[in-house]
Amino acid sequence: MDHATWNRDIGIGRIDPKIKITKLDEYLMEFTISNVDITIANALRRIMLAEVRTLAIDLVSIEENTSVLFDEFIAHRIGLLPMWSFDIERFIDYNKCSCTANDDLDTGGDGDEGFSPVGCPFCTVELELDVTNFEDTTRVVTHLDIKPPTRDPSDVDENYEKHKPVPHFDDTMDWNEFQHCKGIPIVKLKKNQQLKCKMVARAGCGKAHAKYNPTATVVFSCEPDVRINHNVERQLNMEQKMAIIKSVPAKIFDLDDNDRIILTKPIETIFAESAEECSSEMGFPNFLRVDQKMDAFHYVMETVGSRPPQDILREAIIILQKKFLELEKDVRVMAEKGMEN
């Protein structure tokens, strides 16, 4: 049975989903998906939240901590720092990497040699933090103090440069301002207090732990279908028409050359409902009819900075496609067994 025949037999027609990006910056993306069902729209949202892989700090060994916070509290804060994960595809899941096949996954060794993390450059990134405050003023330890392990100062750790905690600092910024405004606080140190620890970051997804989530939020809404009842509109005088046009702040209505009220741009759900309420309050309850298009959805995705928003969307689509291929394979097997029986 070929693919086209199988689709026809179970009642599936060909669909061509379309994606239109309406806003994109470093941490925020707004886009519209059309020609899909609401189940697909929600599945894509859930995948972006829980199944797109990132790096996160998974193991913390506190060597010295004279701050006011407990070791566990500091380790928890460090573990939730977002890490730049643009080439996450090259990282193997820690429990599937060949370098950990015969090792103790919980302790990273026999426990007699201190911090000896199990892992290799294909599944882990090593980091460290060592800050001592010698000043009389309070020192705020932030994610910008996390560095690669101390080795030869002349060596450049390219692995760290690609996978350090975000947001990043570059030469165009003022360091003092960036450290103050953009550094994610971990702990405050008073004079002669110290925090020293070593860390290992590993790849994972949000289903395993929230620290791997690449997004802060992903929401979507159905596209509204707004229809003007021109039978009611013809009964309005110019003053009433202008009152309706001015009642909606988004300026979605205007007059055409024949003084008829028309929609001037696509309308968001919140403004569609507001326009419907305004027309009803003005005594024209049947002027607007607002329905929902169940094949077009507007998304707002906000990231934590670990991966670019367009990268998260692309990866989520790939994961969804793989799920459909697996489902199709399973259905084929079940159909063939049913035909045999």
CATH number of 55-209: 2.170.120.12
**Quick check: helix, strand or coil at residue 81?**
coil
Written as one string, the DSSP assignment of 184-247 is: -EEEEE-TT-EEEEEEEEEEE-TTT-GGG-SEEEEEEEEEEEEEE-HHHHTT--HHHHHHHHHH
Write the class of the CATH domain 3-51+217-302: alpha beta
pTM assigned to the model: 0.76
| Whole-number pLDDT of residue 8 | 42
Q: Residue 27, by phi and psi: left (phi above 0), alpha (psi -120 to 50) or beta?
A: alpha
Q: What is the mean pLDDT of each run of 10 residues along the chain (341 residues)?
A: 43 70 92 92 95 94 95 95 89 82 47 54 89 93 86 54 70 59 86 95 92 94 80 80 72 77 66 68 73 88 93 95 92 82 61
| Whole-number pLDDT of residue 259 | 80
The number of CA neighbours under 13 Å toward the Cβ of 38 is: 8
For the chain, the domains span 3-51+217-302, 55-209
Residue whose tokens read 């899909």: 36
- Choose among 320, 319, 325, 271: nearest CA to 298: 271
| Whole-number pLDDT of residue 111 | 43
Total residues belonging to the chain: 341
Residue 22: how many other CB atoms lie within 10 Å: 12
- At residue 238, φ and ψ (nearest 5 deg) are -65, -35
Between CA 307 and CA 88 the distance in angstroms is 9
| Whole-number pLDDT of residue 290 | 74
- Choose among 254, 250, 273, 272: nearest CA to 262: 254
| Whole-number pLDDT of residue 288 | 75
